[in-house]
């Protein structure tokens, strides 16, 4: 009986066997993804949606949430604290992004050619990338201390004096935290540029040299255009990360003096975890999402474009 069935239904049997293999594979796939889907679902996706919902309520920790529609967003538009944090965030990003990227390019160009101590210099530039920004920010605060800080002492020697100290001076606190941000990240972008430089065929430079082109034309006509892709990626990555500035600001100025260094993340922290206005803080954090989302879309578009070209 078994033989007759197998012979008669051979094509069907093969198809169901293939079907059951496919089903087995699908079941395995979902099992493989189960822990991830649970964690992402409960601790990332749900809180994200919850943040959106909370931003339409007046939720404060000790009182239940009440729906207030666009109330928080209207408040954002008229809240000078939010305007201030938005301006500070954009100001921080607009200065540190181009400065870091330009310095990184300069360092990469210099360290791409053979020179004595090259390995040491590369390592020194990269070390800040791997260490904790919160921790080194403590050392930076000390360096800038008006009474016993070595850096403020040296700066006073060359005529740059700040009586109250950099971090307490409303016009110098932001440059100070920018400096630390640049110092921390420049090595990261330098390494990305070095990778880009190494992918440029040396034959191009040899040909240019045969034609008598000097250093500047070589950079202008070969290096810069061929690094354009890399530059775009680095600028987007740098902008995304500078919009989220927090660590050194928390340690060095705590957003002060007079909120001069309060960024959007810093404001979310203050409004959410110091003043416990969860609904309003959620609205502030969604403003950050919008800013970063635009940049991320650019990044995705960039990757798509690149995928086509190569």
Partner 1 sequence: MGQDNRGLRLTWRILTTAIGLAIALAMLFPLVWMVATSLKPESEIVSFPPKLLPTTFTLDNYTGVWERLPFTRLFLNTVVFAGTVTVCSLLFDSMTAYALARLRFRGKGVVFVLVLVLLMVPFQVTLIPLYDLLAHLGWINTFQGLIVPRLTNAFGIFFLRQFLLSIPRDLEDAARVDGASEFRIYWRIVMPLAVPALLTLGLFHFMYNWNDLLWPLIISQDASRQTLPAGLALFMGQHVVEYGPLMAASVMTLLPVVVFFIIIQRRFVAGVATTGIR
| 210-219: long-range pairs with CB below 8 Å, 24+ | 219/109
Residue closer to partner 1 by CB (options 181, 187) is 187
> Rounded to the nearest whole angstrom, what is the least distance from the CB of residue 116 to partner 1 in the complex?
5
Residue closer to partner 1 by CB (options 92, 278) is 278
147 binding partner 1? (CB under 8 A): yes
**Range 198-237, binding partner 1 (CB under 8 A):** 233-234, 237
Check if the beta carbon of residue 241 is closer than 8 Å to that of residue 133.
Answer: no
136 binding partner 1? (CB under 8 A): yes
| 108-111: long-range pairs with CB below 8 Å, 24+ | 108/190, 108/191, 108/193, 108/194, 108/196, 108/197, 109/193, 109/197, 109/219, 109/223, 111/190, 111/194
Q: Detail the DSSP E strand segments found in 189-271.
A: none
117 binding partner 1? (CB under 8 A): yes
> Rounded to the nearest whole angstrom, what is the least distance from the CB of residue 308 to partner 1 in the complex?
17
> Rounded to the nearest whole angstrom, what is the least distance from the CB of residue 8 to partner 1 in the complex?
26
> Which of these ranges, 7-15, 67-75, 206-214, 288-296, lies near partner 1 under the rule CB under 8 A?
288-296
73 binding partner 1? (CB under 8 A): no
The contact pattern for partner 1, residues 242-261, with x = CB under 8 A and - = no contact, is: -xx-xx--xx--x-------
For residues 197 and 224, what is the distance between their CA atoms, to the nearest angstrom?
10
Buried b (16+ CB within 10 A) or exposed e, 137-169: beebbebbbbeebeebeebeeeeeebeebbbeb
82 binding partner 1? (CB under 8 A): no
301 binding partner 1? (CB under 8 A): no
> Rounded to the nearest whole angstrom, what is the least distance from the CB of residue 158 to partner 1 in the complex?
14
Which of 14, 15, 17, 22 contacts partner 1 by CB under 8 A?
22
For residues 174 and 186, what is the distance between their CA atoms, to the nearest angstrom?
18
């Amino acid at each position: 009986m078994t033989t007759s069935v197998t012979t008669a239904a051979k094509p069907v049997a093969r198809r169901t066997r293939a079907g059951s293999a496919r089903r087995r594979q699908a079941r395995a796939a979902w099992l493989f993804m189960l822990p991830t889907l649970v964690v992402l679902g409960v601790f990332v996706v749900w809180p994200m949606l919850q943040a959106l919902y909370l931003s339409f309520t007046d939720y404060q920790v000790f009182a239940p949430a009440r729906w207030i529609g666009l109330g928080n967003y209207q408040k954002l538009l008229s809240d000078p604290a939010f305007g201030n944090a938005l301006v500070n965030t954009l100001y921080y990003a607009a200065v540190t992004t181009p400065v870091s990227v330009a310095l990184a390019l300069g360092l990469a160009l210099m360290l791409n050619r053979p020179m004595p101590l090259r390995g040491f210099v590369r390592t020194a530039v990269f070390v800040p990338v791997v260490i904790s920004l919160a921790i080194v920010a403590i050392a930076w605060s000390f360096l800038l201390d008006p009474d016993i800080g070595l850096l403020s002492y040296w700066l006073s020697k060359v005529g740059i004096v700040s009586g109250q100290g950099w971090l307490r001076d409303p016009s110098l606190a932001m440059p100070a935290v920018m400096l630390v941000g640049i110092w921390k990240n420049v090595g990261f972008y330098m390494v990305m540029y070095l990778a880009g430089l190494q992918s440029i065929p040396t034959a191009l430079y040899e040909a240019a040299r045969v034609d008598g082109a000097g250093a500047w034309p070589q950079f202008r006509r070969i290096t810069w255009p061929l690094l354009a892709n890399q530059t775009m990626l680095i600028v987007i990555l740098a902008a995304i990360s500078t919009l989220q500035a927090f660590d050194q600001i928390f340690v060095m100025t705590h957003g002060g003096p007079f909120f001069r260094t309060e960024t959007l993340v810093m404001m979310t922290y203050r409004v959410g975890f110091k003043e416990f206005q969860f609904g309003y803080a959620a609205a502030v954090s969604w403003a950050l999402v919008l800013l970063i989302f635009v940049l991320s879309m650019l990044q995705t578009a960039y990757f798509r474009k690149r995928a086509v070209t190569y």
